[in-house]
Amino acid sequence: MSIKDRFGEKSADDSASSAKISGIAMYDAVPQPKDASIGQLVKTATEQISTLIRSEFELAKTEIGVQVKRGAMGSIFFIIAAVFALMSVSYTHLTLPTILLV
């Protein structure tokens, strides 16, 4: 254990990584009393399930967005490679008779 860990000091890397984390908290800030009624427990469970579903949809949107960006970049690079391939075939077609006649 380092001195920073013992005294609770955070390094620049720790603060940068904690700043990147965002989302919906998946726990209760205030714990439920042990003698809570069934209605309160159902209400809490419903709120937590709703929060979970919302956060899963948000995560899915983020993941799909990343995949779409990667697919678009791959398509662009493929099109560029196809254009260069067609250009090289046409130039080879034009220069081949000259090479063979020499």
Q: What is the pLDDT of residues 22-34, one digit of tens each?
A: 555 656 555 667 7
Confirm whether pTM is higher than 0.85: no
Q: How far apart are CA 41 and CA 47, in angstroms?
A: 10
pLDDT of residue 2: 53
Instruction: Find, among 35, 25, 95, 22, the residue nearest to 62 by Cα.
Output: 22
Q: Is the dihedral of CA 4, 19, 53, 29 positive or negative?
A: positive
Length of the chain: 102
pLDDT of residue 92: 81
**For residue range 46-72, what is the model confidence (pLDDT) as tens digits?**
999 999 999 999 999 999 999 999 999
Residues 6+ apart with CB under 8 A from 52: 26
pLDDT of residue 17: 44
**12 pLDDT higher than 50:** no
Neighbour tally for 28: CB within 10 Å = 10
- Share the mean pLDDT of the chain: 78
